[in-house]
Chain A
Amino acid sequence: MLQVRNLHTYYGHIHAVKGVSLHVNPGEIVALIGGNGAGKSTILRAISGIVPAASGEIVLGGHDITHLGSERILKRGIGHVPEGRRLFRGLSVRDNLVLGAYSRRDRSAVKQDLAAMEELFPILGRRRRQLSGTLSGGEQQMLAIARTLMARPTVLLLDEPSMGLAPIVVSQIYEKIKELNRSEGLSILLVEQNARMALGLAQRGYVVETGRLVMEGTTSELKASNEIQRAYLGKGYREVWE
């Protein structure tokens, strides 16, 4: 479905991503875990065309999308839920959703999708006219996801959906992500610092450190690895909400 081969990106002189290769199969959830500043978000930004790829290839469904602009990549079916949600805070919930469908021309289908989103996230229907900046953190994350889904992506890039949210809210959001994957067959590339949550949801995972992939495998392999346990899961420590 989505393939990234030997991707390199730079921020000015900083070599942020150093030869990353990964893939996401149709209908699969893949986790990308690693510490702060490891380059996880940059990989997502390069895939969606927000940050240019210096070299390497990004292929979606057999087509090279490496050097298409972000608008074209979105139209090809890659939806990106940015880190920190980045809502249009001064606009209503409804306007945010409508803007998510900006790249689409099929008006009547957009209308149906609006209704579908309000069904999937009922709170968004109840808060339709409210300014999105006044929503709670969890509601904002739901809106950010729904807004990206309005573009009808086939691959969803999710950047830290758990960021700054209470554990119970994180579980709710992960439930919704699982549901989307199961019912719609949506392929998902998930970036998380919360390795335990991410590995609990995904089928496969990659570990990123300072711009390089240092490990990959199925989530059960990764969870079993000593290194991962020590560095990311906190050996012998179980989080309260599990």
Chain B
Amino acid sequence: MSVYILHVLIMVSIFAMLALSLNISVGFAGLVSLGHAAFFGIGAYASGLIMIKELGSFPAAFLSAGLITAILGLALALPALRVKDDYLAIVTLGFGIIVGIILMNLEVTGGPDGLVGIPPVTLWGKPLYSKAGFLILCALILGIMIGSMYTLKYSKIGRAWAAIRDNDVTASFMGIDIYGYKTMAIVVSAFWAGLAGSLYAHYTAYINPHTFGMHTSIMILSMVVLGGIGSIPGSLLGAALLTILPEVLRPLADYQDIFYGGLLVAMMVFRPQGIMGRVKITEIFGRSR
């Protein structure tokens, strides 16, 4: 397989992890997020810094990236979940902007220049330079993630999330701890986004704050919405489509964004529940019931 195709497939798997992780909060629990790329960035920077400063090897950096992102997810969730729906969307948007500004201004993160020279993934003491090897690693982690997503979705926790997404007042009548479950959704979602960030940082070896801004947040949300809110195969498909399409449309470079915009508009008009979803975006965003 050509190096180029391997590269595209690696990006597909990293964005699939991001879309799936966002689908936990947006799709399973109905919590809109416009700042998901911030979690992606936190994981990338955490993992990159741990290995640059030689604080730990790759597996440790990878897991720490997930945990650190989860803790920051908790820090966001505690105040943010006091509000809901459109207001929550605005709070998460603000969170994304704040994280971007912090990454841009801290000395340790390299400011606007970003982190340079992030070491590659090392397994059993050996650096993994091969793209094919890295793709296998990504696919493996993605596989574990998909498995855990299905387990979660059909567990008692998943049912509680579905109840909260459908009608949170009634969920409290059933004795479901709404605040606790919403917090859990954001934390789990942040954890997986942090892991995706770690893979990305060690893959590209160079990261800067620009990558983790609002454009990426919207892109990840588009993947979830396009594939279908709450649908696991939908997120995979959405991530694949929106990662591969720009490559295919490269000759049209300047018109790409018009095409995207058009795609999303057409989607909202003809299939608001996404390609494989059941829940319409209007049921998550701006509920007026």
* Residue positions of A touching B, CB distance < 8 A: 48, 50, 70-71, 74-75, 80, 82, 86-91, 95, 98-100, 102-103, 147-148, 151
Contact = CB atoms under 8 A, between A and B. Distances in A.
A28 B97 CA distance: 59
Given A90-B279, A103-B175, A82 B166 contact: no
Interface residues on B, range: 20 to 34
Contact of A90 (B166, B174, B176): B166
A50 B173 contact: yes
A91 B30 CA distance: 14
9 smallest CB-CB distances across A and B, nearest first, come from A103-B175, A88-B166, A71-B175, A74-B175, A86-B170, A102-B174, A90-B166, A99-B163, A99-B174
B159 A95 contact: yes
17 contacts: A50-B172, A50-B173, A70-B172, A71-B176, A86-B169, A86-B170, A88-B162, A88-B163, A90-B165, A90-B279, A90-B283, A95-B162, A98-B159, A99-B163, A100-B174, A102-B159, A148-B173
B54 interface: no
B177 interface: yes
Interface string B166-193: 1101111111110000000000000000
B163 A48 contact: no
B11 interface: no
Contact of B166 (A70, A91, A102): A91
B189 to A, nearest CB: 21
Nearest to B279: A90
B160 A102 contact: yes
A90 B160 CA distance: 13
B170 A88 contact: yes
Contact of B173 (A48, A90, A91): A48
Contacts of B278: 90
Contacts of B160: 99, 102
Nearest to A100: B174
Interface of B: 156, 159-160, 162-163, 165-167, 169-177, 278-279, 283
B288 to A, nearest CB: 15
A80 B173 contact: yes
Given A71-B177, A75-B175, A102-B176, A87 B163 contact: no
B167 A102 contact: no
Given A91-B162, A95-B162, A102-B160, A86 B174 contact: no
Contact of A82 (B173, B176, B177): B173
A56 to B, nearest CB: 22
B81 to A, nearest CB: 17
A86 B173 contact: yes
Nearest to B156: A102
Given A86-B167, A89-B167, A70 B173 contact: yes
A65 to B, nearest CB: 14
A148 B175 CA distance: 11
A87 B170 contact: yes
A158 B112 CA distance: 61
B163 A91 contact: yes
A44 B175 CA distance: 16
A165 to B, nearest CB: 19
A70 B170 CA distance: 12
A130 B174 CA distance: 20
B64 to A, nearest CB: 35
